[in-house]
Structure 1
C-alpha cells in the first residue's frame, strides 16, 4: 500500500508538458525596428505610400463598379493605413528608446572624458605655477648682464679714481702680497 499523504513542504510534480514560448532576440528586433523607423522617415517611403494611396483611390473611383474592392468612403484603405500606423508607432518608439540608451552611454563617456581632461588641466596648471616659482628664483641672463655691467662700471670708476702708486692708496684699498 502506497502512502498518498500530501506533503506541503515539497512541490507537486507537474503532469502537463510546459510549452516554451518562442523567444525573440531583443537586439535583433531592435535593429529591425531602427531600420524600419529609419526607412519610414525617408522621402522614398513617403513617395511610395503616396503612390499606393493614389493608385488605390484612382482604381476605386475610375474602375467599373464590379471591379472596385473598396467603395466610397474608402473604409478598407482607412483600415489598412490604421493597421500600418499601429505597427509603425511602437517600432518608432522602440527605435527612439534604443537611441536614447546609446545617447546616455555616450553622454556618460563624454562626462568621464571631460572629468579626466579637467583633472589633467588642473595638474598642468599646478606644474606651470611651480615652474614659474622655480624660474623666479633662478638668475636670468638679463639679470646677470645687468649685474656684470654694474660691476664693470664700478671697476672702471675705481680704476679712474685710484692713484697709480699702491703706497699712496688709502689703507682699505692697499693690495697685500699674495692677493
Structure 2
C-alpha cells in the first residue's frame, strides 16, 4: 500500500513538473513568435525558390513553349539547323536540368519534413499540456465538491440544532402509558412478575408508577373515573379493547419464561417478519404483546 502511494505521488510530482515546463515553453513562444523565414540559410532559400518555380504551371507552360519552338525551328529548316533530329543538344540540356533540379527539390523537401516534424512535436506537447491541465482541473473540481459537501453537512447540522433549540430548547418528548385498572395491587404484581416492571413507589391515591428501562407505565384506579369519562369501559366490556400494548425487549425468551409461569397458555411464536413474540392479557383484560428487537 505504501509503495502504491509512493508511486502515485512520484507520478503526480513528475506530471506537475512537466506541466510547469510546458507552461514556460508556451509562454516563451507567445512572447517570441518564431519566423522560419529568418532562420533560413542562402542555400535553403535557393532550394525553396527552385522547387517553387519548377513546381508551378508557369514553369511548365514556359518550358513547353521553348521545347516546341526548339523542335519546330530544327525541323522546318527555316534557319540553320543547330540541333537536328534526334535533338541531342536538347536532350543534353534537359538532362542537365533534371540532374540539378532533383537535389534542389530534395533539399527543399527535407527542410519541409524538418518543419513538419517540429510542428508535430509542438502539437504533441500542446496535447500533453492540455491533458495535464484537464486532469488538474478535475482534481480541483473534485476537491471543491468535497469541501462543499463538508460545508453542506455542517450547515445541515447547525440548522438541525437551531430547529431543535427553537422547538423547545433541545428537549425531547416522552411517552407515558396510563392504564385504568380495577385492582391496582393485582395489576402491579402482574406487571412486576410477568413483564419485569419495577414499581417506583407504593400505590397511593389510586395511582402507582412502574418503569422498565426507558418505559414508564402508570396504573390508575378505574373507580375514580367519572361515569362519562371517554376511557370508561361500558358494563361487561373488556378494558383496553381495540388497543395492543407492544413491549420490545432484548431477550424475549427470558420474558417468555417469566410470563409463562403466570399464564401457562401463552406461546412463543416466530413471525414472518423475522421476530419472535408472545401475548399475554393482564388481570383487567389489557392485551400485551412482548416481542424481540430488530438487530
TM-score normalised according to structure 1 size? 0.61
Q: Which residue of 2 aligns with 1:35?
A: 49
Name whichever structure is richer in helix by fraction.
Answer: 1
Candidates 137, 142, 146, aligned match of 1:124: 137
**Higher relative contact order, structure no. (Cα contacts within 8 Å, ≥ 6 residues apart):** 1
1:49 aligns with 2:49: no
- Work out whether 1:139 is the aligned partner of 2:152: yes
Segments of 5+ residues of structure 1 without an aligned counterpart are: 1-25, 156-179
Gaps in structure 2 of 5+ consecutive residues:
1-39, 168-295
Decide which of 85, 92, 95 is 1:79's aligned counterpart. 92
What is the CA distance between 1:138 and its match in structure 2?
Answer: 3.2
Cα distance in structure 2, aligned partners of 1:114 and 1:47: 45
Rg larger in structure: 2
Pairs aligned (count): 122
1:140-159 alignment runs, 5 A limit = none
How far the C-alpha of 1:27 sits from its partner, in A, is 1.6
Displacement of 1:59 after TM fit? Answer: 0.8
**How many Å apart are 1:43 and its aligned residue?**
0.4
Structure 1 residue 116: Cα displacement: 1.4
Partner of 2:260: none
Question: Match for 2:116 among 91, 97, 103?
Answer: 103
Cα RMSD, aligned residues only? 2.5
Note if 1:60 corresponds to 2:52. Answer: no
Deviations 1:132-174 (A, max 9, x none): 222223339xx97xx89xx6xxx7xxxxxxxxxxxxxxxxxxx
The residue aligned with 1:93 is: 106
Secondary structure of 2:41's aligned partner: helix
Q: Distance in 1 between matches of 2:59 and 2:76?
A: 25
Question: Structure 1, residues 24-50: CA drift from partner, whole Å, max 9, x if none?
Answer: xx8211111011101111100100011
Q: What is the alpha-carbon distance in structure 2 between the residues aligned to residue 58 and residue 71 of structure 1?
A: 10
Q: Which has the higher strand share?
A: 2
Runs of 4+ in 1 over 4 A off after TM superposition: none
For residues 137 and 30 of structure 1, what CA distance do their matches in structure 2 show?
64
